[in-house]
Amino acid sequence: YPRPPPSCTMAASFEPCREKMTAEGLPDAAIKAFEYSFNLLASGESGMIPEADIAPAADVPNLADIKTEDGSVHGASLLKESVVLKLNGGLGTGMGLDFAKSLLKVKGNDTFLDLTAKQVISMRKAYKQNVRFALMNSFSTSDDTMAFLQKYPDIVSDPDLEFVQNKVPKLDKTTYMPGDYPANPKCEWCPPGHGDLYAALEGSGTLDKLLEQGVKYMFVSNSDNLGATMDLDLLSYFAKQDYSFMMECAERTNNDKKGGHLAVRTKDNQLILRESAQCPDEDEDQFQDISKHRFFNTNNLWIRLDRLKEEIDKNGGFIPLPMIQNGKTIDPKNDDSLKVLQLETAMGAAIECFSKAGAVCVPRTRFAPVKKCNDLLLLRSDAYVVTPDSRLVMNPVMEAAPKMGLDSKKYKFVQALEAATELGTPSLVDCTALKVDGLVYFTRKNIFVGKVTITNSSSEPKVLPPGTYTNCTINLDAAPGLGAVCPKKMPTTPIEGQKPGTSGLRKKTAVFMEPNYLANFVQSTFSTIKTMGADIETKTLVVGGDGRYFNPEAIQIIVKMAVANGVNRIWIGKDGILSTPAVSAIIRERGPSYMSPFGAFILTASHNPGGPNEDFGIKYNVENGGPAPEKVTNGIFENTKTIQEYLICPDFPDINLDLAGTTKVESTCGSKVVVVEVIDGVEDHIDLLKTVFDFDAIKGLLDRPDFSMVYDSMHGCQGPYAKACFLEELGQQEDSLLNAEPTSDFNGHHADPNLTYAVDLTARMGLDRTGQPVATATPPPAFGAAADGDADRNMICGANFFVTPSDSLAIIADHANVIPFFRDQGGLKAVARSMPTSGAVDRVAKKNNLALFETPTGWKYFGNLMDSKDLFGGVDYTPFICGEESFGTGSNHVREKDGLWAVLAWLQILADYNSDPTAPLVTVQAIVEKHWATYGRNYYCRYDYEGVDKAAATEMMAAMTAASETNTGRSMGPYTIATADVFEYLDPVDGSVSKNQGIRFLMEDGSRIVFRLSGTAGSGATVLMYL
């Protein structure tokens, strides 16, 4: 880079950067280190190292030559004083990633992080001691990494497992002021390069803690280099040489000529590292001369921690590393955004800071990083194998790795490589060089021998036919293409407000019908789940909804986009209808196992009204059948803010949703087949419920002459399920069902099963809108229930009697043992309720010694508890019952609330009370009143203030939050506020924290007032007040 403009030289002040970093809570060590780099920049220092100032490094010993007979034994004795550190701060943005590169699958289903964890576990077993292991994560990788490592409890249980890399401001290239980017403030920051290792060790307190624990030697490597493991001969040599710092180097090849190299500074004969960004243009040829500068830095470093501490203290709290300038745009995805400088440092450059520093030349087996798709394809192929101790090494039958030359424009990002290898990874074990020009798709049946060149200058991808290709050039220009399954990139721009709530994204139908609105959200979802490892190529996508307006059209769009994103099998509910609990059942139960779904799009706005002028919604459910967790929904939202294009197969045929059956669409070239099956969406759910309940006992109840029931589907999607359950399975008459035909606008009604909107049911049951009994022309049925639009909610009534959702949850939990699903598994173990739900179930839990959880509103929190053992290796809380005051109840048979399950649970309880057909009928009211007599009664009421101004509602909530401390202790009439706070939930399963989950006023007598803003409204805001 040229020297800075005269207006900046010396005049630039570091103070704005100091203020920004201090406000962000960054430690002094980070601020001092960045100030040093900033001052170098402001003084006109370019950071360049001219060829005239250095000499080639010579006399670098080889690892094979330094090994001694006692090296391994001596090294093993030093392990108790050693720590293995992996640098894990990189997102791999240069490869199109927005998550930790270490979470990229590198061999089979194993990611870099999987293999690293397995290496550590293998080492601990081999040496029978707890070899210390640590990660330097970044602010961008910490959460994902720590969540991923939950599968390795022996690793993640270490309280000192991670410390977090610092971040520094991007600088305006003209003024050197901190860059400002209100559209996405995260873009204002960047990692300071891996040279931040030293400031992060010092600033986090990790360095002092390790020294206090007697740790002397640190081995550092990048997380994407799986060949870099703790080598006992190297550890022994490092200790015997009494080095302060040692760098592992390797012989440079043409593949490495652009990487940093080891050199000797001529003025003081000091070993230094010169990176490519530090080489003047006029010296580029000599920089790349691998016969002159023979050794490159592998970034495998050995550090004496006590000497590092001395050097930091000597320099006033930091290591003075050479500064590297990188010119970027402040938003890496927007070339038109502000031009900035990112100041970075290289950790290997610290070699020049230690007088007692050395280097060792190591074999290529200790260096297998991934910087480009070339590297990733090579590692994924048979050219590399995994050793028993989980190292990734070159296949021993090969003398050298093939030279890789994938088209740098077509394969710049991982997503392109994933699409190109969807049909399998080619064999490279006998290949010496592979060059690909244009976009070519491979299969596992492609075998390359010798030097192979493939070209495709056409505008669409071409699939290379199966076969062995030996020392040849293949031109695919005239080859048949993908035809109907050929993906097209469609330009788009971000659309504000696409943040999924607790139940997905909901807006007015007209909004979803606007150009690109649905497509942006769907593409953002695919981009997120693919980066998180969803197996979309071999598993199945489920699509369906509650039948509301725009449902069929949205399904066709999703199908075409799914195929473009690599999905090969799709199940759609007949007529486009699938209830939310049925989707969960299909994901969890429908087989065979190799077809099991990776997830589902559910098109629903739940209980909100439907129609062209009403609400529409979409939510994504994950592989366990439950709603996407926050890390997924947050990822989706982040992608919606930066999306520039979406993928779609515009020529893929529309699917006939009216008829069950299978459609197969084959590519023109015959390489790919997509299977779309329109399925009976009812069967899987009903079959599952038949394993949960005793249908014979329920039928006995329903057939009693003194018992009658009515079930109101409110013209939502429950109608087909209600018919299958009550008419076909339980043999009841059609008059037992109300409004069982789904319509796109719920027949003009609000399909919300409560006393306000379920007017047809309450009229039949003899209830007014407050739940009080009213006279009816004919006696009401003994039992009544209603479902909402997507059939996950329920309302339960008896004759002239309303059961509150909170009481319903408590009563089902108290009678769980009459339901076979719970009885046959040894009984109920745990219950959970959302925070605003009344404490009725708490009393049941206390009496029956059940684990009890109070969670935020949102079924995903219950799902985590259900999967505590299976997915997280934690406590088994199942069998499990849970519920919310908003008419949602369910169990661990699926991972959604289930309206039909709740109705059958009540019928099972009634059947148990009425097992003697000669005895008088025990009614719903009698059961509830018996419960009150046993446990006491929890009074409860909820008020919904709908369609209020969102900004004003947010301001009101903020004012109550700010007054929490003042309100605590206040008395109002007979009530005194013991605590006023904002509910925060620490998930006992994955350790995540959910903040701002409702404002609580907790009275001294146990009464509560709660305020929440609803995340499920289609427009405006809904303020919920719970008493």
pLDDT number for residue 147: 84
Q: What is the mean pLDDT of the chain?
A: 93
Q: Which of 969, 859, 930, 925 is nearest to 581 (CA)?
A: 859
Distance CA 567, CA 577 (A): 21
In sequence order, the β-bridge partners of residue 270 are 265
Could you give the angle at the alpha carbon of 454 between the alpha carbons of 449 and 460, nearest 5°? 140
Q: Which of 252, 241, 247 is nearest to 360 (CA)?
A: 247
| 411 phi, psi to nearest 5 deg | -120, 35
Residue 825 to residues 298, 424, 820, 822, 866, Cα–Cα distance (Å): 55, 43, 8, 5, 15
The whole-number average pLDDT for the span 225-252 is 94
CB atoms within 10 A of CB 770: 9
Q: Which residue has the higher pLDDT, 743 or 58?
A: 743
Instruction: With a cut of 90, say whether residue 1014 has pLDDT above it.
Output: no
Position 355 confidence tier, pLDDT thresholds 50, 70, 90: confident
The whole-number average pLDDT for the span 791-812 is 97
| Paired sense of beta strands 339-344 and 171-172, if any | antiparallel
Task: Answer yes or no: are the C-beta atoms of 137 and 161 closer than 8 Å.
Answer: no
| Paired sense of beta strands 1008-1013 and 1021-1026, if any | antiparallel
Task: Answer yes or no: are the C-beta atoms of 440 and 454 closer than 8 Å.
Answer: yes
pLDDT number for residue 196: 93
Q: Which residues are catalytic?
A: 606
pLDDT number for residue 95: 80
Q: Which residue type occupies 452? A: V
**DSSP structural state of residue 804:** -
CB atoms within 10 A of CB 134: 21
pLDDT number for residue 2: 34
Give the predicted TM-score (pTM) of the model. 0.81
| Paired sense of beta strands 830-834 and 880-884, if any | parallel
Task: Answer yes or no: are the C-beta atoms of 364 and 378 closer than 8 Å.
Answer: no
Helix axes 28-42, 15-23, angle to 10 degrees: 160
Tens digit of each residue's pLDDT (9 = 90 or more) over 809-821: 999 999 999 999 9
| Torsion over CA: 618, 623, 629, 635 (sign) | negative
Helices (H), 322-405: 373-380
Tokens of 843: 């009393």
Tens digit of each residue's pLDDT (9 = 90 or more) over 686-700: 999 999 999 999 999
Task: Answer yes or no: are the C-beta atoms of 341 and 170 closer than 8 Å.
Answer: yes
Tens digit of each residue's pLDDT (9 = 90 or more) over 930-971: 999 999 999 988 898 988 988 899 999 999 999 999 999 999
Residue matched to tokens 């244009």:
438
The helix, strand and coil proportions of the chain, stated in percent and rounded to the nearest 5, come to 35, 25, 40
Could you give the angle at the alpha carbon of 902 between the alpha carbons of 765 and 750, nearest 5°? 55
Task: Answer yes or no: are the C-beta atoms of 752 and 762 closer than 8 Å.
Answer: no
Q: 872 in the Ramachandran plot: left (φ > 0), alpha (ψ -120 to 50) or beta?
A: alpha
Nearby residues of 373 by Cβ (< 8 Å), 6 or more positions away: 95, 406, 411, 412, 413, 414, 416, 417
Distance CA 926, CA 881 (A): 23
Task: Answer yes or no: are the C-beta atoms of 750 and 768 closer than 8 Å.
Answer: no
Q: Which of 256, 244, 182, 190 is nearest to 217 (CA)?
A: 244
Tens digit of each residue's pLDDT (9 = 90 or more) over 534-543: 899 899 999 9
| Paired sense of beta strands 339-344 and 324-329, if any | antiparallel
Separation of CA 108 from chain center: 20
Secondary structure of residue 20 in the 3-state scheme: helix
Distance CA 411, CA 95 (A): 9
Judged on CB neighbours under 10 Å (0-12, 13-18, 19+), 397 is exposed
Tens digit of each residue's pLDDT (9 = 90 or more) over 549-588: 999 999 999 999 999 999 999 999 999 999 999 999 999 9
Distance CA 357, CA 263 (A): 13
pLDDT number for residue 11: 54
Residue 465 to residues 442, 469, 481, Cα–Cα distance (Å): 8, 10, 11
Tens digit of each residue's pLDDT (9 = 90 or more) over 723-758: 999 999 999 999 999 999 999 999 999 999 999 999
Instruction: With a cut of 50, say whether residue 480 has pLDDT above it.
Output: yes
Q: Which residue type occupies 784? A: G
Secondary structure of residue 815 in the 3-state scheme: coil
What does the DSSP assignment read for 631-659?
HHHHHHHHHHTT--EEEE-TTSPPP-TTS
| Paired sense of beta strands 661-666 and 105-107, if any | unpaired
**DSSP structural state of residue 724:** I
Helix axes 899-913, 695-702, angle to 10 degrees: 70
Secondary structure of residue 843 in the 3-state scheme: helix
Q: Which residue type occupies 349? A: A
Task: Answer yes or no: are the C-beta atoms of 450 and 431 closer than 8 Å.
Answer: yes
Distance CA 331, CA 267 (A): 41
CB atoms within 10 A of CB 849: 7
Distance CA 156, CA 150 (A): 6
In sequence order, the β-bridge partners of residue 326 are 342
Secondary structure of residue 389 in the 3-state scheme: coil
Q: Which residue has the higher pLDDT, 833 or 258?
A: 833
Count, residues in the chain:
1027
Task: Answer yes or no: are the C-beta atoms of 569 and 543 closer than 8 Å.
Answer: no
Distance CA 553, CA 649 (A): 15
Q: 984 in the Ramachandran plot: left (φ > 0), alpha (ψ -120 to 50) or beta?
A: beta
| Paired sense of beta strands 540-545 and 403-406, if any | unpaired
Residue matched to tokens 């192979």:
452
Judged on CB neighbours under 10 Å (0-12, 13-18, 19+), 122 is middle
Tens digit of each residue's pLDDT (9 = 90 or more) over 371-406: 889 999 999 999 999 999 898 889 999 988 899 999
The whole-number average pLDDT for the span 141-163 is 89
Distance CA 725, CA 731 (A): 9
pLDDT number for residue 567: 96
CB atoms within 10 A of CB 364: 16
Tens digit of each residue's pLDDT (9 = 90 or more) over 862-888: 999 999 988 777 899 999 999 999 899
